[in-house]
A and B are shown apart, each in its own frame.
Chain A
Amino acid sequence: MNSLRDQLLGTWTLLKKELLRFWRVVFQTVAAPVITGILYLLIFSHVLDGRVEVYEGVPYMAFLIPGLIMMSLLQNSFSNSSSSLIQSKIMGNIVFLLLTPLSYIQLFFAFLVSSIARGMFVGICIYLIAIFYIDLPIVYPWIVFLFAFFGGGLMGAFGIIAGVWSDRFDQMAAFGNFVIMPLSMLSGVFYSIHSLPLFWQQVSQLNPFFYMIDGFRYGFFGQSDVSPYFSLGIVTLFFIVLSFVTIKMLKSGYKLRG
């Protein structure tokens, strides 16, 4: 009989496997995005530091770091679940999961938590390297954690949807190139939306990435473009909606079970 203990152990096993999967290729999954984030930091801060002051009393380099951390966190949370699923589907080894008693809730939980873990790990690495260059205290650590958790979870769930929906690597790449990258680049990582014309400020406020970045940044400086509580509400709402869609997809067996 499938006991509660069996279910807990089953979920933990899948979570452990997913964590190990990205850890086995740590240069690709962690080192590469950390280096990319640091390069952004060095280049943009070299060009703009001292010339731009977005928040009063906050150097541009300091302003940039939380945005870069959150952008990397979001992209890597998405990559973790989406790449795991698309690879398993194309290699055919997804069948090993589908033959087990693991429920759709267990699958969702394991893929989601491993995605959040990878995103947070990449984010922490960028933070630890960045503080060698600049003093960057965190004013509200719990705000930072909440945005990191819900942002990573939201993108992990979106990654599951993309991984389940995609049948080919190019379809998966389209999510990255045409959805994730533009939305994250235009979310206010490198600027405050107050520096934009009114029309583009309004357009930016339709971008959920903006709320994730802005709220996360509030945790560092206690300053943001919009209320952090409003941002947290938007991020939580998106997290719930995407989780609901993901669970419905997994439950129906869409593109997984014939």
Chain B
Amino acid sequence: MKKAIVFKNVKKNYGQLKAVDGISLPIEEGEFFGLLGPNGAGKSTLINMLAGLVEPTAGSISAMGFDVIKDYQNARHSLGIVPQELVFDPFFNLREMLRFQAGYFGKGKSNDIWVDEIIERLDLTSKASTNMRMLSGGMKRRALIAQALVHRPPVIVLDEPTAGVDVELRQRLWSFIKELNKEGHTIVLTTHYLEEAEALCNRVAMLRTGKVVALDTTSNLLKKFAAKNLKLRLSSKKIINLSKIIKGINFSIDRDFYTFELRKITDVTKIISALNNSSIDILDMETVDQDLENIFLKLTGNKN
């Protein structure tokens, strides 16, 4: 399959700080790819280098086969970038802004039908002639997405597109982005919302201090990092030292609840037998699916 984006040993240093430290990452055409990581992990720096807003210290980046520095004009034709900040031009209305943006890419009057179609699909038709200053935050967010689409790029990069938007709008944006992916666009999404990556992305890369700490399909990552957890409520009076009774299985404690990380299904028998032998009563029991958030926290070491 053709590569939509290729990061090759990309580095970006700001003085002593290594914001991006040797990232190599191919993204296939048609993928829905997620970039996850805590603040300062290097996600936005990576996107900014792809967009040509920041020059890498070392390495190379290509979009649809075009080097983003040496062949920046063709690379930028291939990319539709939705910036993280809610920026807008206060002199113009939404339709004008979109037409100007299309014009910068050499799209003339014949593209106006497409501009109006995007406006409609993003539910902004009633605001098409409204000055950008007068739009709400959610509308401005949708306008930014529209702006990234005006030149029909094959690759769309969304830098935290649902940050600060309400639940309803988030769902609408999710379904719109999914539609774009079904239509054949490659989507690259950076997000803090792990449920967003879990719900949308086929593959994710987790970043920490400028490095990729995990790269796999979302389903493989979920499988790889423990299938399930066993959550038990125990009679606390009889517990002296649980780690001596149940050896080799990690657990965490939250009040009366003990959550055990299951490596294999026989771990359940092992835990229950050990508790029975120590005369510790099980008051309640449930199994919990591992989610991306737990994996993310383990890999990034972020306890918050």
Q: Interface of A with B (CB < 8 Å)?
A: 1-3, 5-10, 12-14, 16-17, 20-21, 24-25, 88, 91-93, 95-103, 253, 257-258
Given contacts A9-B108, A20-B91, A93-B89, contact A99 B74 (CB under 8 A): no
- Picked from B54, B91, B104, the residue with its CB within 8 Å of the CB of A100 is B104
Residues of A within 8 A of B92 (CB): 17, 20, 24
Asked if A253 and B104 make an inter-chain contact with CB atoms under 8 angstroms apart, the answer reads no
In addition to A9-B103, A14-B103, A92-B85, 19 A-B residue pairs with Cβ atoms within 8 Å of each other are A1-B74, A3-B106, A10-B103, A12-B103, A13-B100, A14-B100, A20-B92, A91-B88, A91-B89, A92-B83, A93-B89, A95-B53, A95-B87, A98-B53, A99-B53, A100-B101, A101-B73, A101-B74, A253-B55
Given contacts A10-B104, A101-B72, A101-B73, contact A92 B54 (CB under 8 A): no
Residues of B within 8 A of A8 (CB): 106
Residues of B within 8 A of A25 (CB): 91
7 A-B pairs with the lowest CB-CB distances in the bound complex, closest first: A6-B106, A13-B103, A101-B73, A92-B87, A2-B73, A100-B104, A258-B54
Q: Residue-by-residue, is B55-99 near A (CB-CB < 8 Å gives 1, otherwise 0)?
A: 100000000000000001110110101010101111110000000
- Picked from A14, A21, A257, the residue with its CB within 8 Å of the CB of B55 is A257
Min distance, Cβ B79 to any Cβ of chain A, angstroms: 8
Residues of A within 8 A of B259 (CB): none
- Residue B138 interfacial (CB < 8 Å): no
Count, chain B residues at interface, CB 8 A? 30
B86 and chain A: residue at smallest CB distance: A92
Docked Cα-Cα span, A92 to B83, in Å, equals: 10
Residues of B within 8 A of A14 (CB): 100, 103-104
Asked if B106 and A2 make an inter-chain contact with CB atoms under 8 angstroms apart, the answer reads yes
Min distance, Cβ B189 to any Cβ of chain A, angstroms: 17
Asked if B51 and A2 make an inter-chain contact with CB atoms under 8 angstroms apart, the answer reads no
Docked Cα-Cα span, A14 to B92, in Å, equals: 13
Q: Residue-by-residue, is B163-184 near A (CB-CB < 8 Å gives 1, otherwise 0)?
A: 0000000000000000000000
- Picked from B54, B55, B74, B89, the residue with its CB within 8 Å of the CB of A2 is B74
A110 and chain B: residue at smallest CB distance: B104
- Picked from B48, B74, B106, B147, the residue with its CB within 8 Å of the CB of A10 is B106
Asked if B103 and A95 make an inter-chain contact with CB atoms under 8 angstroms apart, the answer reads no
Docked Cα-Cα span, A24 to B131, in Å, equals: 12
Docked Cα-Cα span, A6 to B73, in Å, equals: 10
**Binding site secondary structure of chain A:** helix
Q: Residue-by-residue, is B97-130 near A (CB-CB < 8 Å gives 1, otherwise 0)?
A: 0001101111110000000000000000000000
B12 and chain A: residue at smallest CB distance: A258
Docked Cα-Cα span, A99 to B107, in Å, equals: 15
Residues of A within 8 A of B74 (CB): 1-2, 101
Min distance, Cβ B236 to any Cβ of chain A, angstroms: 54
Min distance, Cβ A193 to any Cβ of chain B, angstroms: 41
Residues of A within 8 A of B76 (CB): 99-101
Residues of B within 8 A of A257 (CB): 52-55
Asked if A2 and B77 make an inter-chain contact with CB atoms under 8 angstroms apart, the answer reads yes
Docked Cα-Cα span, A14 to B99, in Å, equals: 11
Asked if A100 and B105 make an inter-chain contact with CB atoms under 8 angstroms apart, the answer reads yes
Docked Cα-Cα span, A21 to B103, in Å, equals: 16
- Picked from A12, A100, A258, the residue with its CB within 8 Å of the CB of B48 is A258
Docked Cα-Cα span, A258 to B72, in Å, equals: 16
Given contacts A20-B91, A101-B73, contact A6 B105 (CB under 8 A): yes
Asked if B106 and A95 make an inter-chain contact with CB atoms under 8 angstroms apart, the answer reads no
Asked if A7 and B89 make an inter-chain contact with CB atoms under 8 angstroms apart, the answer reads no
- Picked from A1, A24, A92, A99, the residue with its CB within 8 Å of the CB of B91 is A24
Asked if B90 and A91 make an inter-chain contact with CB atoms under 8 angstroms apart, the answer reads yes
20 inter-chain pairs at a CB distance below 8 angstroms, sorted by A residue, are: A2-B73, A2-B74, A2-B106, A10-B104, A17-B92, A17-B100, A21-B91, A24-B92, A95-B87, A96-B101, A96-B104, A96-B147, A97-B104, A99-B51, A99-B83, A101-B72, A101-B104, A101-B106, A257-B53, A257-B55
Asked if B106 and A91 make an inter-chain contact with CB atoms under 8 angstroms apart, the answer reads no
Residues of A within 8 A of B103 (CB): 9-10, 12-14, 16-17
Determine which residue in B77, B105, B107 has the highest number of CB atoms from chain A within 10 A of its CB, and name it: B105
Min distance, Cβ B85 to any Cβ of chain A, angstroms: 5
Min distance, Cβ A111 to any Cβ of chain B, angstroms: 14
Docked Cα-Cα span, A181 to B52, in Å, equals: 37
B82 and chain A: residue at smallest CB distance: A99
Determine which residue in A99, A100, A103 has the highest number of CB atoms from chain B within 10 A of its CB, and name it: A99
Asked if B52 and A93 make an inter-chain contact with CB atoms under 8 angstroms apart, the answer reads no
Min distance, Cβ A65 to any Cβ of chain B, angstroms: 32
Residues of A within 8 A of B72 (CB): 101
